Chains A and B, each alone.
Chain A
Amino acid sequence: MLSLEYYLVLSALLFTIGVLGVLIRRNAIIIFMCIELMLNAANLAFVAISRSLRHAEGQLFVFFVMAVAAAEVAIGLAIIVSVFKHKETINVDEVNSLKG
């Protein structure tokens, strides 16, 4: 059995990729996918620690996170569709009408 550290390192890597993706990419759908990546990185950490400690709560939380992620996808995609209808672009640099 692989030790816990491997899982956690993988999780941290995935999370960092997600953060960088959100910060660097301009396409709203890519940013969205990166957010999902971060959520799943957290899920991985949950599951790994849950197994290592022999506690079921961590696995339970993963279901919560999945439910939240599903809800987020529904709303987030709806926003992206409506932004596209309005601006004909999903490039977040061009959606800046709140500039002070």
Chain B
Amino acid sequence: MSKALIIILLISPLVGFLINGLLGRWLKGNEKLSGGIGALAVLISLICSIIAFIKVQGGTTLEGEAGILYPWISAETFSFNIGFHVDALTTVMLLVITGVGFLIHIYSIGYMHGDAGYTRYFAYLNLFVFAMLILVLGNNYVMMFVGWEGVGLCSYLLIGFWYEKQSATDAGKKAFIVNRIGDFGFLLGMFTLFAAFGSLDFVSIFDKAEAGTIDIVFGETTKVTLIVATLLLFVGAIGKSAQIPLYVWLPDAMEGPTPVSALIHAATMVTAGVYMIARSAVLYNLAGTGLVVAWIGVLTALFAAIVALKQNDIKRILAYSTVSQLGYMFVGVGVGAYASGIFHLVTHAFFKGLMFLTAGSVMHAMANELDIRKMGGLRNKLPITYATFLVGALAIAGAPFLSGFWSKDEILHSAWGSSKAIYIIGLITAFLTAFYMFRLIFVTFYGKSRVEPEVASHLHESPAVMWLPLVILAVPSALIGLLIGWNGHDSVFHHFTESVFSAGHGDEGHAKELGSAIPFMIISSIVGLLGIAFAWTRYKDRVPSDEPTNALQRLVANKFYIDEIYNTFIVQPIKNISHFLLWKVFDTLIVDGIVNAIAAIVRVIGGTLRRLQTGLVQVYIVSMVIGIVLFLAYYLFFA
């Protein structure tokens, strides 16, 4: 595989960003050109990704020395290169990013129509794709971190895209700050790895880890060092991929434009943590910290699914659903079924991206209404939106043979082999997922219309530029599981990614221990269908009540008061410390005091010395002559 291909793939969105970002002033008023450039940039990347994918399938990868482009930082004991690592896992990520990304760019052309920040929007979106590509293409943790921060920045910019709205800027800041906590963990993890291996290149780290040549940084054995490093990296993943306890930013991130929610906060950026763990599979296997990852994942999955039960904001339901599904992915990579975790990442990118876009289509029709209690009976008015949303919901609920069915089932199946408790919690979550998703469908699309009259009068299906991507996304949401996931752990997808993960745990051997997947598939299907049926009985023609009736419902409706708890115990104390100790005491008294004191001293000395400056030339000459005489006298008589 030639490096030129990867360079074109990577640079294209950057060029798109520069054109839209720098020349936006001249493009303004020409939405077709601006959006077209944005979409074209990603299309070029998509074509390159497909070529790279075909080449990887033919067995050509780009890793290690071959992938190095040029040295970036070079000092005595360490050096980092700008280089690419392209293998099966990378190309899967590339296809998801550019494929889903391209469709979302197309959709955005229609969705953002008439927005004042049209070119700015496409500039940010292209910059995001560029950063995400760096994240997955880098051949070392430093480049991954650059991408990691880049997508965080774009996420911040796009959440706060409508910056005149207070809630949007607050949500942007919240996302940025919460992510910072995770990024700090990621950095510390990188430092630990560097101390242990003397390098941050993937290939050399994994080779050394397998050979056992690790310097001990913490504890007595090399294993302790690896445990610390992997857990610190996982803190980064917790932040970026919105897991307990740092998930709080993702639901608020829905303040951004809906296509952004689909691309960044469902399909790509939030899955970066899963990708990072899959990439570091060797380390997680050796450290044995996968079970921590899996437990955090499954608890997040359950927790977010419970919270989603009582939400009435269409995008927030989807946001909690995303948190929950990310939890599943972490279960997958946590129990060592890396291919299954990544498989779920792929299917989720399709169906969740699809569902966010349909939600956007609903909002578009409903004049930006988000409350599902004010919808109802929309399936006749928005047939395409309804049909595509149904496909997505069936896929996530695990309806037999749709994509979510295959990927979720593989994860649950693998979880059974590691821990029965994780399996059971995962199964309960699957039931809840089906339930809340179909609650959303029944309340939004069925029953009597509760749409306000003036909105109802111009209720319309979205234009083709918006519904076409929905239909295109619906196809893989339905079929991709069947195509590449058939036969569970022996599927096309597993064979494709085998080369990446076989070095570690040995996914295939793992599958053989597990036995037949068929009973698990039947159980998951029944659970999913039960969830749908239960939602039908409860919400077929009933509107969710405005007021929670008992304490438990109130607890769930208020998201377990987690935001309030964080606010009371973390945010407010920090704000108070900042206000009083750091600002009033340290800044005002100490820093300002030192600066003012220096200024005062200078003023006093200057005030005294300025009297010497008489402006009379002869006074200066007298002092000069006296000086000369004194020096002469000294040298003549004393020296």
Q: How far is the CB of A26 from chain B (nearest CB, A)?
A: 8
Contact B615 A99 (CB under 8 A): yes
Expressed in whole angstroms, the Cα–Cα distance for A19 and B621 within the complex equals: 9
* Binding site secondary structure of chain A: loop
B616 interfacial contact with A, CB 8 Å: yes
Total of A-B residue pairs, C-beta within 8 Å: 31
Q: Which of B589-628 contact A (CB under 8 A)?
A: 609-618, 621-622, 625
Q: Does A52 contact B (CB under 8 A)?
A: no
From B610, B612, B617, give the contact of A95 (CB < 8 A).
Answer: B617
CB contact between A22 and one of B613, B615, B618 (< 8 Å): that residue: B618
A87 CB, min distance to chain B CBs, angstroms: 13
Closest to A25 in B: B618
Q: A90 vs B17: C-alpha distance in the bound complex, in angstroms?
A: 68
CB of B614 within 8 A of CB of A23, answer no
Q: Are B625 and A19 in contact (CB under 8 A)?
A: yes
A19 to B612, CA, bound (A): 22
Given contacts A19-B625, A23-B622, A23-B625, contact A92 B613 (CB under 8 A): no
Contact (Cβ within 8 A) B616 A93 = yes
Which of A92, A99, A100 touches B618 (beta carbons < 8 Å)? A92
Contact present for A92 and B612 (CB under 8 Å): no
Q: A92-B616, A92-B617, A93-B616 are in contact. Are A100 and B611 (CB under 8 A)?
A: yes
Q: Which A residues are CB-close (under 8 A) to B622?
A: 23
Question: Smallest CB–CB gap between B194 and chain A, Å?
Answer: 58
- Segment 10-63 of A: residues with Cβ below 8 Å from B: 19, 22-23, 26
Query: Closest Cβ of chain A: how far from B157's Cβ, in Å?
Result: 53
CA distance in complex: A95, B616 (Å): 7
Bound CA–CA A23/B621 (angstroms): 7
Contact yes or no, B625 A96, CB < 8 A: no
**Smallest Cβ distance from B12 to chain A, in angstroms?**
64
Q: Which residue of A lies closest to B628 (CB)?
A: A19
Known: A23-B622, A23-B625. A100 touches B616 (CB 8 A): no
Establish whether residues B614 and A96, one from each chain, have CB atoms under 8 Å apart when the complex forms: yes
Question: Across the interface, which residues of A come within 8 angstroms of B615, CB to CB?
Answer: 96-100
B611 touches A96 (CB 8 A): no
Q: How far is the CA of A93 from the CA of B614 in the complex (A)?
A: 10
Given A22-B621, A26-B618; 12 other pairs, CB 8 A cutoff: A19-B625, A22-B618, A23-B618, A23-B622, A96-B614, A96-B616, A97-B615, A99-B615, A99-B616, A100-B609, A100-B612, A100-B613
**B residues engaging A (CB < 8 A)?**
609-618, 621-622, 625
A interface residues (Cβ-Cβ under 8 A, vs B): 19, 22-23, 26, 92-93, 95-100
